[in-house]
Amino acid sequence: MSIKNKLSPDEQSELIDILKTRFEKNSVRHENINWEDVQKKLESNPDKLLSINEMERTEGEPDVVGYDKKTDEYLFFDCSAESPKGRRSLCYDRKALNSRKENKPANSAIDLSNEIGIEILDEAQYRHLQSLGNFDLKTSSWVKTPEDIRKLGGAVFCDKRYNTVFLYHNGAESYYSARGFRGFLKV
């Protein structure tokens, strides 16, 4: 994956327009947050804007889902209806990828999230996302795995079926065309 190190003014303007449109269409995700304040933060943080561009490019459809008054940061989550298409068919982390002898996936969820400059959602964040809408009704998403589970070779993922959010386990080296990961970024 080739990640840009800078957005041109036109690319930045186009991305801001996409984010603004999404923000306005999905006001339930960010009540009492003003778009102009978000835009100022984005424009003053070009490195974070690059990461959001990668979230968008990999079809995560990033959107604002909260604001932290203590740190004065806006929280962006991947809000695509299904796990981002550009981030599927990945095992969980580098150790899992290295353990595969054949049929290796192109990358791992943790490595790709680091390349993009985002963090993978944990279970609580995933459940918060699901409180804002219906996501992963046909796909699933790796979530941050507790270290004690990972040490034993496992990893966890979530999805939503039957109006219920489920947390499952799998070997960390497994990968499926319908499983990706969702990330978050603070700006």
Q: Which residue has the tokens 């499952």?
A: 168
pLDDT of 115: 96
Of 47 and 3, more confident? 47
Calculate Rg over the CA atoms of the chain.
Answer: 16
Mean pLDDT of 121-127: 98
Beta strands across the sheet bearing 183-186: 62-68, 73-78, 183-186, 119-120
Residue 3 has pLDDT above 70, yes or no: no
Neighbours of 146 (CB within 10 A): 13
pLDDT of 5: 77
How far the first Cα of the chain sits from its last, in Å, is 23
Question: 147-164 pLDDT, tens per residue?
Answer: 999 999 999 999 999 999
The residues, ordered by sequence, that sit 6+ positions from 173 with a Cβ below 8 Å of its Cβ are: 91, 92, 96, 97, 99, 100, 153
pTM value?
0.94
Question: 49-82 pLDDT, tens per residue?
Answer: 999 999 999 999 999 999 999 999 999 999 999 9
pLDDT of 6: 84
Q: Which residues pair with 143 in a beta bridge?
A: 156
> Looking at residue 91, what DSSP letter applies?
B
What CA–CA distance (Å, rounded) separates 9 from 6? 9
Burial 29-43 (b: 16+ CB within 10 A, else e): bbeebeeeebeebbe
